[in-house]
Amino acid sequence: MGKEKTVKTNALRQLDAKKISHQTYTYDAPEGFLDGVSVAKAVGLDPDKVFKTLVTQGASREYHVCVIPVACELDLKKAAKHFGEKSIAMIPAREITNVTGYIKGGCSPLGMKKKYSTAIDASASQHSTIVVSGGKVGLQMELSVEALCELTDAALVDLTEA
């Protein structure tokens, strides 16, 4: 656990290709999946700094990516408004791999099959760096909020339930 050299995923390859400074963390997920708060605890980080990647689909049938703190819930109305959708819903877990190329619990906002419109919760601006999935279960990566916004063309917006 902690900091160590890891297998390269699409997300990490993207960071390397752009020469973006980052830190990786690994953890054991014996059940194959841990909730985000447990992941934060496993890598010894404040849950406010660890973000989860959620994939949604709007009424337009377009996919949208929301990156929010692991202890928070996505406010679907706020997300729909931001993406200009009449409504928005989480995609079923069984569709994650087909849509993103990643598996549940290992979905990174970077290196997906396609580049989807992305928003990062505004609370990220309280940190110089945040931690997101590195593209597989058991791997997290820490990078600057600025770099993540730039690489995903993401806006910082209020996405979580009060």
Q: Which domains does the chain have, with CATH numbers?
A: 10-157 (3.90.960.10)
Contact 99, 53 (CB under 8 A): no
pLDDT tens-digit series, residues 97-153: 999 999 988 999 999 999 999 999 999 999 999 999 999 999 999 999 999 999 999
Return the higher-pLDDT residue of 66 and 28: 66
pLDDT tens-digit series, residues 13-23: 999 999 999 99
| Torsion of Cα atoms, 74 then 16 then 111 then 94, to 10° | -80
Write down the residue that tokens 């709007």 correspond to.
Answer: 58
| Torsion of Cα atoms, 81 then 112 then 99 then 42, to 10° | -90
CA-CA distance, 40 to 77, in Å (whole number)? Answer: 27
Residue 135: both structure tokens together: 């593209």
| pLDDT of res. 48 | 94
Contact 153, 88 (CB under 8 A): no
| pLDDT of res. 28 | 87
Query: Which residues, 6+ apart, have CB-to-CB distance to 29 below 8 Å?
Result: 105, 137, 138
Query: Which residues, 6+ apart, have CB-to-CB distance to 52 below 8 Å?
Result: 36, 67, 68, 69, 70, 132, 133
Q: What is the total residue count of the chain?
A: 162
